[in-house]
Structure 1
Amino acid sequence: MENIKCRFLGGWLFQIPKGFARFCFILANNLYCIPTYVIWMFLLHPLRKVNSELYWKIEGYFFHWLLAMVALWSHSAGCDVVEVGDDISECIEERTLILANHQSTGDVPLLFACFNAKKHVLPNIMWIMDSLFKYTNFGVVSVLHQDFFIMSGKTNRDKSLQSLANHLLEKYTPLHRKWLMLFPEGGFLRKRKAVSHRYAEKNNLPKFENVSLPRVGAMKIIMNTIGPKSSINNNAKTANSDVKKDCIEWVLDITIAYPNGEPVDFSHIAFGHRGPCQTVLFYRLYRASEIPEETDEMTNWLFKRWEEKETMLQAFYDTGSFPMEYSRKKPCPPKVVVQDYLRFLLLHIFFIISTYIHVRMVLATYHLCRSFCVY
């Protein structure tokens, strides 16, 4: 027993310097990447007035490169991502609404890692996130990228949903964004489960243990505003039948499953103390035209998908794999998402050199201002 305690204590003590080094690296990575992104966007702002399309294309690349840094954090912590289920190649460059269950702070970094390996996804994605994230380190990045911050709480619900509709028309469509990321549960499973159970009891709905009941409000607004059956797209089609409808064409349902039902959280990524693990993403792809238009029918459709997620996740936790009968098409075999280390290296070099240039520019400007003040 004493030997076991000593080995455990020794392993724990070994993790401390390793975790501290990882945390320092991530902190430094934030310091030389995020300010660089902000400064480049500031310097390129005049281009937005002259050639808006080129500006947003460049911004998309910068945004992708930043999220690639986060992908490196999770990958270097031993958190691999495995894809299984439907082939999603059809929707990669099409307007797609992504629906995913939400379990922990690790969900988003792992989705970054998954999307990082796919071309044209992260530069053209728009995230719908809680307004509190505006005040995190990535808040300024999301603001500049024109992501949407949704306000939580009953008092803010109607106003926030109306703002979402306006944002889709003023930002998502004009900027030619493709993927639109939504977590219908509205929060982490551990925080939402009790509320979900109370709502289920009150409305005679099933209680879920592996997911919480989804909210349909944001999805309803999205489909009504830019869905294939929205009045805007129907009017555009009527005016000119040759014009391709500028709307959501696909709905991609992602079920995120962690080993043994133990979610990866950001502390595991930051300090690397969990050890290697594989997070599995199960894809189910739907034509947007398949989604019911009426609120009650859409709610039932979404609840049905979450009821299936509950069953799928329980099977995964019991057997270690998803039941393939839930695939919409012939299921693809499990595939580990491969990251490009050379690309990671080149991106670090770019951000470090950019930071050096920006620091020199700031110092030169400071000395120039001092010179003018002296004279």
Structure 2
Amino acid sequence: MAMNRKEIQHGSWILMKGTIRFLFMVINNLVAIPSYVLYLIVLQPLKLLNSKLFWHVEGIMFKWLLAMVSSWGWTAGYTVVEWGDDVKAITEDETMVLVNHQATGDVCTLMMCLQDKGTVVCHMMWLMEYVFKFTNFGVVSLIHGDFFIRQFCQTEKNTVEKQKGLQWVIDITIAYHKAKPIDIQTWIIGYREPTITHVHYRIYPIKDVPMESEALTRWLYQRFVEKDELLAHFYETGAFPPPKGQTTATSRAMTLDPLWLFLIQLMGFLSGYMWYNVLQYMYNGLGL
């Protein structure tokens, strides 16, 4: 069937917008990630003198990098509504997160959700497939101290068992509009219409989590059974069920400050420009 004029115009607009967004993302990575690495190289003396301050500074820059990724989805109209327990009260405590990972866009969604949760995003550690070590963000994850794993389920269970200072487990369930997950390509290019992703939180005190291996395995399986029940309810009614003992479920629209996102991006591009000039000066100074 031949496309009409309106469809051609819409397709052309999506193609042009997607190309611009993709080029911006590439440039964004080329300036922000090397800048992060070079700042930390220069700050190595600080690491020797005051390790705590060094990792505090690193955490702030790590949060800024994740904010840049969040901005890609935010500017495409991909927003988040949060349900369930309010996790802001425990974000400064040592916590482990479980999530129903469905697509590559889940990671970007979590990066967005964590931006307004205090300093947790500065200190959090990610567990990811080993192959991600070889992506553009791999060097950042290596420096930050993230974990690359080959057997996720067993590693997840071992992490709960060995984490002595753990205080909470947050069970996160992500639900997408019409059960269509957003992948990283959509997040970057923005070819899907603006949509709301729904994120449900449930908090478990660590004292309620069994530490014995078999009991812990059953407990983890049960969380994913509950996730399926939550998702079934959401896709049937358009809302997550209310917490036990309550009759209504409340939701909270998660917001990001556009000015703050702009300043973060501006900082990244100015840093990239500065480091380009510094490296060029050093190159010329060496007579190479």
TM bucket, shorter chain: over 0.9
Deviation (angstroms), 1:75 = 0.7
Q: Which protein shows a greater Rg? A: 1
User: Is 1:97 paired with 2:96?
Assistant: yes
Q: Counterpart in 2 of 1:48?
A: 47
Q: Counterpart in 2 of 1:142?
A: 141
User: Is 1:313 paired with 2:237?
Assistant: no
Q: Does the residue aligned with 1:84 lie in a helix, a strand or coil? A: strand
Alpha carbons of 1:123 and 1:314: their partners in 2 closer, same or farther (altered >3 Å)? same
1:144-188 CA-to-partner distances (Å, cap 9, x unmatched) read 101111124xxxxxxxxxxxxxxxxxxxxxxxxxxxxxxxxx4xx
- The 8 Å contact of residues 87 and 332 in structure 1, kept in 2 or not, is answered as no
User: Is 1:355 paired with 2:272?
Assistant: yes
CA RMSD of aligned residues (A): 1.9
Q: Does the residue aligned with 1:263 lie in a helix, a strand or coil? A: coil
Q: Does the residue aligned with 2:126 lie in a helix, a strand or coil? A: strand
Q: Could you state the TM-score of these two structures normalised by the residue count of structure 1?
A: 0.73
Alpha carbons of 1:330 and 1:64: their partners in 2 closer, same or farther (altered >3 Å)? farther
Structure 1 CA distance, aligned partners of 2:238 and 2:173? 14
Structure 2 CA distance, aligned partners of 1:80 and 1:34? 25
User: Is 1:35 paired with 2:34?
Assistant: yes
1:303-351 CA-to-partner distances (Å, cap 9, x unmatched) read 11111111111121122111224x5889762111110111112212222
1:324 to 228, 242, 252: 242
Structure 2 CA distance, aligned partners of 1:364 and 1:266? 37
Q: Could you state the TM-score of these two structures normalised by the residue count of structure 2?
A: 0.94
Q: Counterpart in 1 of 2:119?
A: 120
1:20-52 CA-to-partner distances (Å, cap 9, x unmatched) read 111111111111111110110111112111111
Structure 1 CA distance, aligned partners of 2:81 and 2:67? 17
Q: AA paired with 2:55?
A: W
Alpha carbons of 1:8 and 1:314: their partners in 2 closer, same or farther (altered >3 Å)? farther
Q: Does the residue aligned with 1:126 lie in a helix, a strand or coil? A: coil
Q: Counterpart in 1 of 2:162?
A: 225
User: Is 1:281 paired with 2:199?
Assistant: yes
- The 8 Å contact of residues 241 and 249 in structure 2, kept in 1 or not, is answered as no
Alpha carbons of 1:329 and 1:351: their partners in 2 closer, same or farther (altered >3 Å)? farther
% identical aligned pairs: 38
Q: Which runs of 5+ in 1 are unaligned?
A: 153-185, 187-214, 228-246
Q: Counterpart in 2 of 1:108?
A: 107
- The 8 Å contact of residues 242 and 250 in structure 2, kept in 1 or not, is answered as no
Deviation (angstroms), 1:277 = 0.5
Structure 1 CA distance, aligned partners of 2:4 and 2:226? 43
Structure 2 CA distance, aligned partners of 1:18 and 1:145? 33
Q: AA paired with 1:220?
A: K
- The 8 Å contact of residues 240 and 249 in structure 2, kept in 1 or not, is answered as no
- The 8 Å contact of residues 83 and 280 in structure 1, kept in 2 or not, is answered as yes
Q: Counterpart in 1 of 2:190?
A: 272
Deviation (angstroms), 1:299 = 1.3
Alpha carbons of 1:266 and 1:313: their partners in 2 closer, same or farther (altered >3 Å)? same
Q: AA paired with 2:26?
A: L
Q: AA paired with 1:363?
A: Q
Alpha carbons of 1:41 and 1:68: their partners in 2 closer, same or farther (altered >3 Å)? same
Deviation (angstroms), 1:9 = 3.4
Q: AA paired with 2:283?
A: Y
Q: Does the residue aligned with 1:324 lie in a helix, a strand or coil? A: coil
User: Is 1:297 paired with 2:215?
Assistant: yes
Q: Counterpart in 2 of 1:68?
A: 67
- How many residue pairs match? The answer is 288
1:263-314 CA-to-partner distances (Å, cap 9, x unmatched) read 0111111111101111101110000110012111111111111111111111
Structure 2 CA distance, aligned partners of 1:335 and 1:265? 23
Q: AA paired with 2:195?
A: C
Q: Counterpart in 1 of 2:259?
A: 342
- The 8 Å contact of residues 149 and 155 in structure 2, kept in 1 or not, is answered as no
Structure 2 CA distance, aligned partners of 1:132 and 1:121? 25
Q: Counterpart in 2 of 1:263?
A: 181
- The 8 Å contact of residues 257 and 279 in structure 1, kept in 2 or not, is answered as yes
Q: Does the residue aligned with 2:239 lie in a helix, a strand or coil? A: coil
User: Is 1:366 paired with 2:274?
Assistant: no
- The 8 Å contact of residues 77 and 268 in structure 1, kept in 2 or not, is answered as no
Between stretches 277-286 and 303-312, larger displacement belongs to 303-312
